[in-house]
Amino acid sequence: MQPEILTWLIPLPPILAFFLIVLWANRNNRLSHMLAVGAMLLSWGLAMVVFGMAISSEHLGQHPFASSIAWLQTGETYFNIGVLIDPLSAVALFFVAWTCLAIFVYSIGYHNFGKKRDPDDRVGLPPKAGGIDPMYARFFAFISLFAFGMLTLVVSDNLLLLFIGWEIMGLCSYLLIGFWYGKDSAKRAMIKAFITTRVGDVFMLLGLAYLYSETGTLNFRQILYNEEVLHTLAETPSVIAGFSTAGLIGLLLFMGTVGKSAQWPLHVWLPDAMEGPTPVSAMIHAATMVSAGVYLVLRFFPLLTAGWHEGLPLTPTLSTVAFIGAFTALFAATIALAQNDIKRVLAYSTISQLGYMVAAVGIGAYIAGAFHLITHAFFKALLFLGSGSVIHGMEHGVHASHKHVDAQDMFNMGGLRLKMPRTFWTFLIGGLALSGFPVLTAGFWSKDEILADAFANDHHAVFIVLALAAFLTAFYTMRQITLTFLGKPRSAAAEQAHESVWSMTAPLLVLAVFAVAAGWVGIPEGFPVLGGLLPNWFHEFVGGTLLEHPHVLSFTAVPLLTSVGVALTGLFLGWLVYRRVPAGAADPLTRPLGPIYRLLQNKYYFDELYDFLFVRPAYWFAETFIYRWIDRGLIDGILHGVGRTALRIGSFLRNAIDLPIVNGFGDAVGEGVKRAGSRFRVIQTGRVQEYLVVGLLFTGLLLSYVIFFQP
């Protein structure tokens, strides 16, 4: 079978499942999840076949699997849409298919399939006592649509189709964050996520339009694998001074990434998105949506770097990208230090790690960025699903102990390693991968590569910021693990927590394997002892996406020692500080950090700032300006004015014309006839003889006339 045809088929099963569930299967929970998981399994199978074909084909970069059809007539030419599998999309397809499948299977257990529906549960609210979710089928419909969006985005061969997939995911994330729409916080979170990402998307759409108007095509290969086009774009100055056309388009597209991948300053929506069910958090935060943003900048890497070579100073666009990435990496990591909600810590950690990738792209470390994207997808999905499993166990504990505590607050947990061994070990692996535990874990290799690249190309500021972020990452990860799993239970709920079902823990095991093994494909060849044992396949393969194969860095000890040092120190300190937190105690960091801790806990007051700067002015604008002034005052005023004028004209016509002239004439005729009748009726006496006299008189007159005047 030709790989192109298989590629066309990859996104289709989930959308079919979506329609089938929505239209016919939504009353049958078993059928719904069988459809969704079956469709995802089919997509996964197709994706694996295509991936297998991709890695076994020689020079995939020069000769990718591509196929397109004419879609829309644009003047004399056609706008083509199609599919493209080059090395970058092949590896993206790989991790998307795996994580999506894992999340689909996990969702079955997470939504308590097999349990009875609790009569107390209400539609639009999470189940209270472990009954099956009242909206079980709907959830699977939504995640199917979500998977369709992501797969479309990955296999598309042009920016427009990518944008379509991107927006489908935006819609689904809105629907899924607000899945439990009975909760006020979920409603607010869904709107916040939708509006915030929309800000980035508008810029992205501008970039798309600009790119189309400059090149006349949106096809990736025609723009990004074409030296001539890239050269022209890099040389032409854009409408904004100081930027080349390529730079400005790149920056606009990067704004889309900032929104979707929750980079500062549009990061605020992602922590709130935790209101959704945990598989949704995993999907949005690890496997799909936020990765899509980084995928976009990786995809447009040739455009971002057009006119720049390694060794030259960064262009304004690249500096912006690098700055935002590095800043976000550190900024989000500091916030994660002071969060107590197990999922919120992971949310900020995701923002931070995405910042890592963006920073890598900003300093031109293409391979390292792509590598971290993939390893991060695996271990972050693992962590999210693991945290979901923890919350699930805790909720069971809360229910069993009849004492209400917040099931997501890490300070209510502790000692869960004995109650939930499978979750604990997989979570530990994920956590170590996130902190970059040396040699063993995937996170170490990808993070190390970014640091090495930053160091080797003399981007010292970025290097230091990222190293600091890596230290904080290790610290808050160990804080999380220690608080959740180690020590003694700090609440009755934690004492009675129990391990989750197999449909939840099996995906954890699969993802844990990848969280370790995904790193082995990209071990740099210059690495002491281990280097060269396995070929650096990732570098070779993904490097083929670019026109110019990026060269291999020579090994230096400084970044390696740094990353090993910060990871181990961070982990150790995290354990040291949090190993003996008694029940009901505050965070041990509260006192030494003082006001800084409060600042961190409140996320630098960004929500409040945006509320003051944007939300309230928007409400004022809507409520006072548009509603009260424009709508009620101006538009209603005009309407009322028109109405009043019409009334006045009407009453003038009535009083001056209708009543006196028309009515007067009619009345005069009637009255006149009446009056004449009453005058003349006296001659009608009813006596026949008088009539006869009158008849005689007139006959006489007539005769006289005939006789005297008519000869």
Partner 1 sequence: MIPLSWYIIFAAILFCVGLYGALARRNALAILMGIELMLNATNVNLVAFWRYGTLAIRGQVFTLIVFAVAAAEAAVGLALIISIYRRRTTIAVDEINMMKW
**Which residues here bind partner 1, judged by CB under 8 A?**
681, 684-689, 692-693, 696
CA atoms of 485 and 240, how far apart (whole Å): 54
Residue number with CB closer to partner 1 (533 or 703): 703
17 to 148, 167, 200: CA distances (angstroms): 10, 19, 30
> Nearest distance from residue 670's CB to partner 1, in Å?
19
In angstroms, give the least distance from the CB of 687 to partner 1.
6
**Residue 237: DSSP 8-state:** B
Amino acid at 580: R
Cβ at position 691, least distance to partner 1 in Å: 9
| CB of 77 or CB of 704, closer to partner 1 | 704
Q: Which of 557, 688 has the CB closer to partner 1?
A: 688
393's CB contacts (< 8 A; 6+ apart) are 416, 419, 420, 423, 497, 498, 499, 500
Chain centroid to CA 442 = 26
CB nearer to partner 1: give 684 or 710: 684
Work out how close the CB of 666 gets to partner 1 at its nearest, in angstroms, rounded to a whole number: 25
d(CA 192, CA 174): 9
Q: Residue 406's closest CA among 390, 422, 418?
A: 390
Minimal distance, residue 679 CB to partner 1, in Å: 12
Instruction: Scan for tokens 């300006």, then name that residue.
Output: 625
What does the alpha-carbon distance between residue 118 and residue 178 come to, in Å, rounded to a whole number?
A: 21
What whole-number distance in Å separates Cα of residue 596 and Cα of residue 593? 5
Give the 3-state secondary structure of 50-78. Answer: HHHHHHHCCCCCCCCEEEEEEEEEECCEE
Between the CA atoms of 79, 290, 445 and 100, what dihedral angle is there, to the nearest 10 degrees? -80
609/673 with CB nearer partner 1: 673
569: number of Cβ within 10 Å: 13
Compute the half-sphere exposure of residue 324: CA atoms within 13 Å on the CB side of its CA. 24
Nearest to partner 1 of 586, 696 (CB atom):
696
Residue 194 and residue 270 in contact, taking contact as beta carbons nearer than 8 Å: no
Number of Cα atoms under 13 Å in the Cβ half of residue 500: 31
From the list 226, 375, 256, 370, the residue with the least C-alpha distance to 321 is 256
Which is nearer to partner 1, 23 or 688 (by Cβ)? 688
In whole angstroms, the minimum distance from the beta carbon of 690 to partner 1 comes to: 9
Structure tokens at 552: 């291999």
Residue 604 burial by Cβ neighbours in a 10 Å radius (0-12, 13-18, 19+):
middle
Transcribe 585-615 into DSSP letters.
Answer: PPPTTHHHHTHHHHHHHTGGGHHHHHIIIII
Q: Please, what is the minimum distance in Å from the beta carbon of residue 685 to partner 1?
A: 6
Rank residues 458 and 690 by Cβ distance to partner 1 and give the closer one: 690
The residue (of 404 and 687) whose beta carbon lies closer to partner 1 is 687
Q: 27: helix, coil or strand?
A: coil
- Judged by beta carbon, residue 242 or residue 700, the one nearer partner 1 is 700
CA 627 to chain centre: 30
Decide whether 5 or 696 has the Cβ nearer to partner 1.
Answer: 696
For the record, the structure tokens of 594 come out as 């003082």
- Cβ closer to partner 1: 209 or 676? 676
Instruction: Give least dist CB 660 to partner 1, A.
Output: 33
**What is the nearest approach in angstroms of partner 1 to the Cβ of residue 672?**
18
Residue 639 CB, shortest distance to partner 1, in Å, is 59
For the bound state, the minimum distance from the C-beta of residue 693 to partner 1, rounded and expressed in Å, comes to 6
Residue 663 Cβ vs partner 1, minimum distance, rounded to whole Å: 29
Least Å from the CB of residue 682 to partner 1: 9
Considering the complex, state which of residue 649 and residue 697 has its C-beta at the smaller distance from partner 1: 697
Cis preceding linkage at 265, omega within 30: yes
Burial degree of 173 (CB within 10 A; 0-12, 13-18, 19+): buried
